[in-house]
Structure 1
């Protein structure tokens, strides 16, 4: 009798995303973060220059990332707004250069339809939308191009301030939002096997909300679509452990492993090597993969 960990029921668990295939019934994808912004909360502009952004993306793939997420506009409200043309100028050249050298999945972190279309034309496979497909026209771009979509929960969306976010039951409300936005995506013509969901840890949520989402993540994964979590170095980890930005690696790995055990299948992260190692170890413990170098010496 098999003792392998059972997975949540996932709609179309075996998926072709861009040029790669994933079996989310027994596999976790590692998504590397590349922010071409001057104000990203963790990178603080280190990958703002074009050559730095491209080098970071290539390095992440060499380190084992399955996926690279490229963004040109931060979620935080503490920033100056930029137009769609400037956002395109930030992301499209990075996407084009990375596409030319790798078969890894490429997503664009945007909520604007014109940016999404330009990114797809440059070679992106997926639209990662922290606004939950609420911007008019974005779902239609995804449907028309056949791009994948990450539908993420947030109250205000990118660049919009939400003071003291409150929920009666954060998990139930996030799940309800995601179900409603997935229904909207399907009505817009996006195929079920193109949809991924993300509960949006720390996006208009405080530390207690994000911990509760992690603790009860199986209520999100039960919706049925592959679940992405973006926990890496976030404030809820820092506040939980009383750690500054540069000292949250252990907390990030622990939270990601808990999320995988509760059904997450895509991890959006800054530290690719440590995440890949922790994911491969978790997959092996769960019986999803064999050890890479087992010893046959039984003495």
Structure 2
């Protein structure tokens, strides 16, 4: 086969490949790349329903002195720091525990923990709203019956408890996928290494530390990064349960972006918040890859 004919075959294969990729690439450009560029661009404008005036970095300067944005940023960080470590550790514990059980028991627990993930957000919210109800809620009833509290607590209406109530709900909807991933990752670890270590007298902690944990590191890195991003983007629970209240005690950056853009019509200012959130997520994700990805093979 001469070089010209071989070149034509390769060119044809390349064109066919790009033809198959074109729909996905077009979708990505229209619905991901363009909105990102547009968001950064419009954040430099006083963009409202009536105005579109260039103001440079004034929106970003305004963020620095905005107490509501600072409060929302702190709330977002509290949600991330309060949920991500618990989700990872709990999912790892459950994964290690149920992996050693019978396949039927393992499937049952995977189903139980994954159920909130596939259940609609509105349905989950309705259930938790009833649990937290200050008058008819089961949580107050149980705590009063156990004489832990003397009077009903407004879990979603008291700024002392509201953010923690949101975090608890977020935990229940976040652990399902990590548990599934950890169980799958444990199945990929060479069992002969574990058996050999046990024969040599290694205890459970030594087996986990030296054999299982290195094999789980790629999965752990993925879970940490994805859970962190999802926690930073917490919106639906806030919007459905508290609308950022009371007094912005549960407001997150994502909810504030929604409020400024779609309630107040301050699109440029909202986009500047979105840009800052994206930068924060990017920096934290980079640090996570930096410190957790050293021993991970891609």
TM above 0.5, one fold?
no
Q: Could you state the TM-score of these two structures normalised by the residue count of structure 2?
A: 0.23
More strand per residue: 1
**Higher RCO, 1 vs 2 (CA within 8 Å, ≥6 residues apart):** 2
Structure with larger Rg: 2
- TM-score normalised over the length of structure 1: 0.23
* Structure number with higher helix proportion: 2
